[in-house]
Amino acid sequence: MIDESEVIRSPLLSVLEDLHIKYQQLQEGKLANYIPELAKVNPDLFSICVMTTDGQVFAVGDCQHLFTIQSISKVFVYGMALEEHGREYVLTKVGVEPTGDAFNSIVLDEMSKRPYNPMVNAGAIAITSLIKGSGPTERLNRMLEMFKKYIGHDIFIDISVFMSERTTGHRNRAMAHLMLNFGMIDQKIEEVLDLYFQQCSLMVNCQDLAVMAATLANNGINPITREQAVKSDYVRDILSVMYTCGMYNFAGEWAYKVGLPAKSGVSGGLIVVVPNKMGIAVFSPLLDERGNSVRGVKVCEELSQQYCLHIFDYLRGSCKFNGN
Ligand code: GLU
């Protein structure tokens, strides 16, 4: 029998537990309500999971609870498009400029007619349209295989979320038509939108998100399986757009305060990449007015500050990150 008093507590785990207790009290924010499945989620759900690039896991809260990945998927599908077409071609279809607008704004760059970046819906839909395959099934299977490399196990679609997204996604459909008009995507609009709605409806838990983030922190190599999920060459492109565009129209303030590449989604997930160190994932479905998880933002602000994680912090590297 283990004597609890003799167990050496990980300092990082204690920090995460304290943050969890502190912010569990915070009841600010609202559930996403554009589809019924998201509106009926338990607002108290809250988990934090950190995975280091050497595969250590620090988890608090219900890190096994499944939810849909939503916009966080955009990061990984962007990586897939870069691998399939190369940086130059992808740039002709989707820019890398932050918008300052809401994620679902129907705007394209005036001059180039490209969507502004791959993290807003228009850009993500154009990116999804680049996924190769002989038909919808092959494209979906290839995408699932890509996600599996990051997560380390099979991943499944929440069919009711997918059906709701598809039934209510008029705005996304309008954007797709606008991009068809400008030749940014091709004729198969409904197939592209289905694949986009499917990628948003993939089920993950907080620990899955942490390993995905840790894979990006580890130059594209999954720290657990050691599999290369995305070519190292493209990790810097992915992290750059996460840094400038990953937090909806809060991206600038996030970069200023937290200073790390990140991506959030409307179901309340948030991933943060600390290059060469760790991936951080938080899940809490109460969202602020920009669509970011309220508790998720708070937790990451504190972690960044406490461990000097901001990439431009002059103290970076000198604050002790002591996971052990
Ligand atoms: N399925 C959502 C949409 O495309 C994703 C939104 C999000 O997570 O930002 O509208």
Binding site membership of 158 for ligand 1 (Cβ less than 6 Å): no
Question: Is 71 marked as a binding-site residue?
Answer: yes
For residue 260, is it within any domain?
yes
**Residue pair 197/165 in contact by the 8 Å Cβ criterion:** yes
The CB density around residue 317, as the number of other CB atoms within 10 Å, is 11
State the DSSP code for 291. S
Task: In whole angstroms, give the CA distance from residue 303 to residue 237.
Answer: 24
- Write down the pLDDT at residue 114: 92
Residue 109 confidence class, pLDDT cut points 50, 70, 90 = confident
What is the domain extent for residue 192? Answer: 11-307
For residue 72, is it within any domain?
yes
Give how far the C-alpha of residue 204 lies from the chain's centroid of Cα atoms, to the nearest Å: 11
- Give whole-number Cα distances, 310 to 61, 186, 254, 296, 319, in Å: 25, 40, 10, 16, 11
Q: Give the tokens for residue 79.
A: 């990586």
- Write down the pLDDT at residue 234: 98
For residue 4, is it within any domain?
no
Residue 187 Cα to ligand 1 middle (Å): 22
**Phi-psi map region of 25: left, alpha, beta (phi>0 left; psi -120 to 50 alpha):** alpha
Closest residue by Cα to residue 234 from 170, 146, 155, 295: 146
Binding site membership of 71 for ligand 1 (Cβ less than 6 Å): yes
- Write down the pLDDT at residue 4: 55
Average pLDDT over residues 284-309: 97
Mean pLDDT of the chain, nearest integer:
94
For residue 322, is it within any domain?
no
User: Residue type for 11, please?
Assistant: P
Average pLDDT over residues 306-319: 90
Binding site membership of 120 for ligand 1 (Cβ less than 6 Å): no
Is 98 a residue whose pLDDT tops 80? yes
pLDDT digits (tens, 9 = 90+) for 4-55: 555 667 899 999 999 999 999 999 999 999 999 999 999 999 999 999 999 9
For residue 67, is it within any domain?
yes
Average pLDDT over residues 93-113: 84
User: To test ligand 1's pocket by mutation, which of 119, 165, 293 has the most ligand atoms within 8 angstroms of CB?
Assistant: 165
For residue 2, is it within any domain?
no
Is 71 a residue whose pLDDT tops 80? yes
pTM assigned to the model: 0.95
Residue 116 confidence class, pLDDT cut points 50, 70, 90 = very high
- Write down the pLDDT at residue 310: 97
Average pLDDT over residues 251-257: 96
For residue 302, is it within any domain?
yes
Average pLDDT over residues 102-110: 78
Check if 277 is active-site.
no
Percent of the chain with pLDDT over 70: 96
Q: How many domains does the chain have?
A: 1
User: To test ligand 1's pocket by mutation, which of 41, 69, 104 has the most ligand atoms within 8 angstroms of CB?
Assistant: 104
- Lowest mean per-residue pLDDT among 31-35, 147-151, 164-168, 312-316: 312-316
For residue 159, is it within any domain?
yes
Average pLDDT over residues 238-267: 97
Task: In whole angstroms, give the CA distance from residue 176 to residue 108.
Answer: 11
- Give me the CATH number covering residue 143: 3.40.710.10
Active-site residue (options: 60, 266, 273, 299): 266
- Write down the pLDDT at residue 239: 98
Is 122 a residue whose pLDDT tops 60? yes
- Write down the pLDDT at residue 324: 45
Check if 196 is active-site.
yes
Residue 303 confidence class, pLDDT cut points 50, 70, 90 = very high
Residue 298 confidence class, pLDDT cut points 50, 70, 90 = very high
Average pLDDT over residues 312-318: 86
